Structure 1
Amino acid sequence: MKNVITALDVHDVRFPTAAAGDGSDAINRGDYSATYVSLKTDAGVEGAGFTFTNGRGNEITCAAVRALAHHVVGRSVEEIFADPVAFWRSLSADVQLRWLGPEKGVIHMATGAIVNAVWDLRAKLEGKPLWRLLAEMPTEELVRSVDFHHITDALTPDEAAAILDKGLAGMDERLAELSRDGFPSYTTSVGWLGYPDDKVRELTRQAYAEGWRAMKMKVGGPIEDDVRRASIIRAEIGPDALLMMDANQVWDVDEAIANMELLAEFDPYWIEEPTHADDVLGHARIQQSVAPIRVATGEVAANRVIFKQLLQAEAIGVMQIDACRVGGVNEVLSEILMAAKFGVPICPHAGAWACASTSSTWPSSTTCGSAPRSTAGWSSTSTTCTSTSSIRCAPATAGTCCPRPLATAPP
């Protein structure tokens, strides 16, 4: 029996986060929003996926989803997964809509929302969370789901298969560990740029008391303010907890290097998005200059080709895939495998913490990522990013950005 997709519904979901400064950084002060896709089938099972936006403009991503809907409505799940790359290319390389990218921006984000909904639908039909479906999938099928176009100079199908086969060793033990302990996680709740010092101090103290041993703060305001706020957080969490910093692309290359010289005394584990997201060579120069502090980036990296270049240029120490930014699970798989080959750990970004999670969501305490403690969960595709890398690619990447033991987030 075939499971035919009979309809695609898209919902414009928004949350008023800007007024209180929640989610604020050096560039953005948005209302966290989602373009939420629901696929209906003749079997009554629904698949869900979304892409994250920052408020105004969410209606544009919704319109892009509607423009791509004809590629999925009327097709069966079985037909799609008989040739998953052909399906992915029907969306990512639509012969007219591709001109609006290509493979970047609103069209590619809409592609990811639809693709993730299709994978979520398949996972539900098989009665598994998406991360587990992928982690346990045969090597041949995983490789067959990856579009290697434009990345074979960095990763070939044979290399991908070897990485995945190697990952089968010890997989049962890693699955058991994941089910028992979940993933280490960090919180950004303490350090939004719009918060006054007293609130930063109070939230940091509260987070530490709740068991958090990794905090992330926003930087990119006046450097003296960044130094002062870093001093507050480090004083509250002590020398052994992790402190990460995120500049949200606001600095020029030389400015990033100079500012991190001033912030280095607070022992940052990484500096995230220190400069423009597309400046691969700039990231490489920053990474060379600020080491051993790691450069982390990827939340707005548009596609696998940008990640390929970041890895080839040795520009990053932590890779931050956002499955709601790139073209969905198929592209995420290629990025995970490239990270495994280059030995760069993954800590996925999932800005959609405020948005409704898909039905196959894994609890927020099991993903290595940031979220305000008041939220309920994460998108299944973000958890998939971490879970697949740690379970099937663990020998190459260790699957997590954090080498030191961290307390997992409280439930």
Structure 2
Amino acid sequence: MSKIVSVDVKDIRFPTSLQSDGSDAMHTDPDYSCAYVSVKIASGLEGYGLTFTNGRGTEVVVQAAKSLSALVVGKSVDDIYKDFGNFWRSLTSESQMRWIGPEKGVIHLATAAIINALWDLWGKIEKKPVWRLLADLSPEALVSCIDFRYLSNVITKEEALQLLKQGEAGKQDRIKVLLDKGYPCYTTQAGWLGYSDAKIKKLANKYMDLGYTAFKVKVGKNLQDDIKRLELIRSVIGWDKILMVDANQVWEVQEAIDWMKQLAKFKPLWIEEPTSPDDVLGHAQIAKALKPLGIAVATGEMCCNRVLFKQFLQAEALEYCQIDSARIGGVNEILSVYLMAKKLGVKVCPHAGGVGLCEMVQHLQMWDFASLSATSEGKVIEFVDQQHEHFVDPCIIKNAHYLAPRAPGYSTTMKTEAIENYEYPNGKEWQLMFSKGIFQDPTKVQ
């Protein structure tokens, strides 16, 4: 048996605020970052996982992951993978640390980073990319990875097993489609709120030329500015392309309804995160009000756990379910959301962007297509063209499709030079920026 001999956690940050990359109505100056976890076994093989953060506060998630590591070091990976669902519960239900969640916030972000590292490690042990590892698991083995506690009033283990068995039909044909063509995506890269009109127009034209047919734009700070920005985007992409808008939680419920009525003339497919990410009934009210206008509600990137997702799905508060590869407790918990969405007939269109999110989420959506939903109709994965150069096996986009990953693991291994340059605060790039006064050195703050 291969025992885990160490868990290491690093604070990795990129100065994306300097170019307004990632800016939206709520997050005006993000520095895209991650808590980066490595799990090493006795043979020397390592798995890498991460959870996305936004700059300040990453050190808190790093410390939480270090605190959880005591529950991981010394464990046999063979035992973990044989009963992954119960191991996942052992992390999320540790009798003292669960108090600072439970299953939400910083402690759950840290859980996701560790769990994602364990999936990367499993893929490397089996010499398979994680999407293929998942697709090759038997329905029984996959169900054993999931903690169904609190979900039985929507889906049971037996129902999940039946859905997965139904998905066996035609699986190999769908795997071939993924290997030959990949999975469709849309881009947010032209739509950041802090970008100038000239930059938006230039990027929209760029992605049109690359074959994109779906674009997302940030809204919510100023109505007249939103109208002008959507007019600009529509003038570039035309009216035959799909347009989505994203408010990043900035509105009150009625404000969201009123604001979107003013933007309805631009024919957005969805409004994303119109209000608080915890407000199930508020989202349901917005969804009901906007449905006659042909505008759907999408949310989920900051949904804290499977139980809240369950309520969104039950309440018909979203039409597009946006799982995030690092927000809830890693792959295991995300699988349960896919299964609930499948049973209740809701499309999953994952959130991506950030550090490593595109790399991870492609695996999840490809597994869904191969093994569960059996279709990509009406579904797309978000793509944001940032920080991919820092990964050993970055996602590859061709003709507005994610190409199926071929390398073993979860595509989460960062290059050594990326860590040397951007580990915070001692990385070479950060030290250089501190010396130039671009950022303040936190070690010298009085």
Superposition TM-score, scaled by structure 2 size: 0.83
Q: 2:368 matched to 1:389?
A: yes
Call closer, same or farther: CA 1:402–1:329 in 2, change over 3 Å. Answer: closer
Counterpart Cα distance in 2 of 1:116 and 1:203:
32
2:125 aligns with: 125
Return the offset for 1:400: 5.5
Q: CA deviation at 1:96?
A: 0.9
Report the Cα offset of residue 67 of structure 1. Answer: 0.1
Superposed CA offset, 1:192-231 (max 9, x none): 0011222211211222122221111000111111011001
Structure-2 residue corresponding to 1:378: 358
2:275 aligns to what SS in structure 1? coil
CA contact (8 A) 1:323 1:332 kept: yes
Deviations 1:225-274 (A, max 9, x none): 10110010011001111111000000111111111111111111111101
Matches within 5 A, 1:237-316: 237-291=237-291, 292-316=294-318
Shift of 1:184: 0.8
Counterpart-to-counterpart distance in 2, 1:323 and 1:209: 29
1:351, CA displacement in angstroms?
Answer: 3.9
AA partner of residue 19 (structure 1): L
Residues 158-177 of structure 1 aligned to structure 2 (within 5 Å): 158-177=158-177
- Whichever residue aligns with residue 150 of structure 2, its letter is H
Are the equivalent residues in 1 in contact too, given 2:182–2:402 (CA < 8 A)?
Answer: no
- Cα shift at 1:398: 4.3
Aligned-partner residue type, residue 17 of structure 2: A
Match of 2:321 in 1: 319
Q: How big is the shift at 1:183? A: 0.9
In structure 2, the CA distance between the partners of 1:176 and 1:13, relative to structure 1 (3 Å rule), is same
Code of the residue aligned with 1:379 in structure 2: it is E
Q: Is the 8 A contact 1:210 1:410 kept in 2?
A: no
Which whole-Å CA distance do the structure 2 matches of 1:164 and 1:134 have between them? 11
Q: Deviations over 1:90-142 (max 9, x none)?
A: 11111111111110000001001101111111111000001110112100011
Q: Structure 1 residue 145: deviation in Å?
A: 1.1
Aligned position for 1:373: none
Please say if residues 211 and 410 of structure 1, whose CA atoms lie closer than 8 Å, have aligned partners that are also in contact.
no
Q: CA RMSD in A?
A: 1.7
The number of equivalent residue pairs is 384
Q: Aligned partners of 2:210 and 2:15: how far apart in 1? A: 26
Matched AA of 1:209:
D
Q: Any idea what the Cα deviations from partners look like across 1:320-349, whole Å, max 9, x if unmatched? A: 111201001110111110010011111111
3-state SS, counterpart of residue 31 of structure 1: coil
The more displaced of 114-123 and 299-308 is 114-123
SS of the aligned residue for 2:19 comes to coil
Letter in 1 for 2:205: R
Displacement, 1:143? 1.0
1:315 maps to amino acid: A
Preserved CA contact (<8 Å) 1:250 1:274:
yes
Alpha-carbon contact 1:213-1:407 (below 8 Å) kept:
no
3-state SS in 2 of match to 1:36: strand
Structure 1 residues 186, 398: CA separation in 2 closer, same or farther (over 3 Å shift)?
closer
Instruction: Show the 5 A alignment for 1:318-337.
Output: 318-337=320-339
Helix, strand or coil at the partner of 1:185: strand
Aligned to 2:99: 99
Q: 1:371 maps to what in 2?
A: none
Distance in 2 (CA, whole Å) between partners of 1:41 and 1:10 is 15
| CA displacement at 1:350 relative to structure 2 | 2.5
- Aligned partners of 1:88, 1:409: CA distance in 2, in Å? 32
Structure 1 residue 410 displacement after superposition: 8.9
Structure 2: unaligned runs, 5 residues or longer: 382-397, 404-446
After superposition, the Cα gap between the structure-2 partners of 1:93 and 1:351, relative to the gap in structure 1 and judged at 3 Å, is: farther
Q: Aligned pair 1:57/2:35, yes or no? A: no
| Structure 1 CA distance for aligned equivalents of residues 329 and 368 of structure 2 | 17
Residue 401 in structure 1 maps to residue 403 in structure 2: no
Q: Which amino acid aligns with 1:408?
A: A
* Cα distance between partner residues in 2 of 1:104 and 1:134: 25
* Residues 146/399 of structure 1: CA separation in 2 closer, same or farther (3 Å cut): farther
Aligned partner letter, 1:112: A
CA distance in 2, matches of 1:401, 1:269: 12
2:23 alignment counterpart: 24
Aligned to 2:421: none
Task: For 1:54-93, list aligned pairs within 5 A.
Answer: 54-93=54-93
CA distance in 1, matches of 2:227, 2:98: 44
Q: Tell me if the contact between 2:183 and 2:401 (Cα under 8 Å) persists in the aligned partners.
A: no
Distance 2:359 2:376 in 1: 22
Q: CA deviation at 1:399?
A: 7.0
Other structure's SS at 1:140 match: helix
Matches of 2:332 and 2:209 in 1, distance apart? Answer: 40
Q: Work out whether residues 336 and 385 of structure 1, in 8 Å CA contact, stay in contact via their aligned partners in 2.
A: no
Q: TM-score, normalised by structure 1?
A: 0.90
Cα shift readout 1:53-95 (whole Å, capped 9, x = no counterpart): 0000000000000000011111111011222122111111111
